[in-house]
Structure 1
């Protein structure tokens, strides 16, 4: 039990800004870390639902609540995945050879394409939540709240299963220290339960969201393999961000077209 608790602490210390007791980053304490990675999404989802219900209950202006909803994941994670989104966007937009793209991923400077991507990313989130934030669409926000776990399940599976672009990167280190088969199977099991819950909340909307996430996962594999020769921490963050905003946009569209 102590080992599992340490794995939990390492996962939250690495991928969130939630204060955690100290745990040594040993192989034993990272063995099942990815099994706890989706629970950061649980925190984001719970805060998302809390903000949405509080906004409706207290009558806050939709624009204010929408901005809070957009920023909840950033506050919880510290923007670690957004950093990967921006670095990967710079690398992809460079149209350089593979080795140069991998160098750009490590560059701490933000290029023009990273700035453009950040603007498009947050505007897209704002637009999606503007459509979703109504009492009629609260079920869609509930599905999206589960989506924060779905994206992390798929991200963890990608880290475990996909080839690594760099043998000395953070993702490669995490993968070496993890129990691949057990972690992968647990993440798949999570996905099955999450998909069932999303479909139970609202069948059409839930199916659309989970199918959209899987399509984006396939796209992630294509991008990682074609342009980088495998995945890295930054590319994994890139996937997580576009997976979540993609689900939000899908839910905004289908909840308006298929009104329940």
Structure 2
């Protein structure tokens, strides 16, 4: 096990994949939206994971629609928030939530890396996973309810920002130097495929666009959205480093956990406003 995965030499995947191939990879891998994956190789994974925030944007907008409609029809902020939280779970078949639960079980097992990975592959959910799921969903609904209570615009922006940030965390976790924990699975397919400069550029662009989207609500709101993305990425980075030390790399479950933790962190920051 290495002390710092950032010290490993970069291993960029050879070859190139077109933008359409990358978008199909991103939507076909990270959502249940109809997208036929035309290439399943590392060049396609590189382009696809760099485009992951775009998949998050679509998921976030689709999640905001029923929440906003419920508010306009007279529903309360809590109901709007609960439905909004349910949509991304449905659009991913609950895989990210399942990844969070499995990662929590693996981290909480206190077993060696190999045994912890075996626990994560089991179909059942242990006590750590159950607690993590319940607490995270409660926090997400509560935070979104606060945003919707401000206005439907705040709630919709919060839902979109959280979904985009969740996939951005996956982009950064796919950067060069992050090793896979297993030789197979999604973690092995996408680990280390995104060049560090590209990952940093996508992150910077996302922060700027998140602030710009909230600018009509005022400068404080724009700053809060930028801060929410940055705080979420920090939380995801801390979890990523913990998982790499604990499991000797990343897995598909870890990617799911990173998405949920970063989305929740972003929602918490936005609720504070």
Place the TM-score, normalised by the shorter chain, in its bin: 0.7 to 0.9
Structure 1 window deviating more from structure 2 (33-42 vs 45-54): it is: 45-54
CA distance in 2 between partners of 1:165 and 1:29 (Å): 17
When residues 129 and 21 of structure 1 are mapped into structure 2, their CA distance, relative to the original with a 3 A threshold, is same
Give the alignment's TM-score, normalised by structure 1: 0.84
More helix by share: 1
Partner in structure 2 of residue 258 of structure 1: none
Partner Cα separation in structure 2 for residue 144 and residue 134 of structure 1: 13
Matched positions, count: 253
Deviation of 1:195 (Å): 4.4
Separation in structure 1 between the aligned mates of residue 19 and residue 227 of structure 2, nearest angstrom = 34
Tell me the distance in 1 between the aligned counterparts of 2:163 and 2:253: 18
Do the aligned partners of 2:211 and 2:223 also contact (CA within 8 Å) in 1? no
CA contact (8 A) 1:37 1:153 kept: yes
| Matched residue, 2:12 | none
1:95-116: per-residue Cα shift (whole Å, max 9, x none)?
1122221222222222122222
Task: Measure how far apart 1:79 and its partner are.
Answer: 1.4
Structure 2 CA distance for partners of 1:159 and 1:22, relative to 1, 3 Å: closer
Contact kept? 1:35, 1:186, Cα under 8 Å = no
Match of 1:217 in 2: 236
Q: List alignment gaps of at least 5 residues for structure 1.
A: 256-260
Q: Name the stretch that deviates more: 179-188 or 151-160.
A: 179-188
Query: Does residue 1:101 correspond to 2:116, yes or no?
Result: yes
**Distance verdict in 2 for CA 1:123–1:147, change over 3 Å:** closer
Q: CA deviation at 1:82?
A: 1.1
TM-score by length of 2: 0.80
> 2:227 matched to 1:208?
yes
The answer to whether structure 1 residue 249 and structure 2 residue 268 are counterparts is: yes
Alignment of structure 1 residues 54-203 onto 2, 5 Å: 54-136=69-151, 138-139=153-154, 141-169=156-184, 170-175=186-191, 178=193, 180=195, 183-197=198-212, 200=215, 201=217, 202-203=221-222
How far off its partner does 1:145 sit?
Answer: 1.4
Q: Structure 1 residues 151, 162: closer, same or farther in 2, change over 3 A?
A: farther
Query: Could you list the runs of 4 or more consecutive aligned residues of structure 1 that deviate by over 4 angstroms after TM superposition?
Result: none
2:194 and 2:150 mapped to 1: Cα distance? Answer: 43
Offset of residue 242 of structure 1: 0.9
Quote the residue 2:52 is aligned against.
Answer: 37
Partners of 1:87 and 1:114 within 8 A in 2: yes
**Structure-2 change in CA distance of 1:222 and 1:23 (3 Å):** closer
Structure 2: segments with no counterpart, 5+ residues: 1-16
In structure 2, the partner of 1:20 is 35
Cα 1:112–1:61, aligned 2, differ >3 Å: closer, same or farther? same
C-alpha change, 1:228 and 1:175, in structure 2 (3 Å) is closer
- Between 1:150-159 and 1:202-211, the stretch displaced more is 202-211
Distance in 1 separating the partners of 2:146 and 2:130: 25
CA offset digits 1:184-239 (Å, max 9, x no partner): 25523433433432663513422431232132033123312332233222112111
1:41 & 1:91 partners in 2: Cα distance? Answer: 26
Worse-superposed segment, 184-193 or 56-65: 184-193
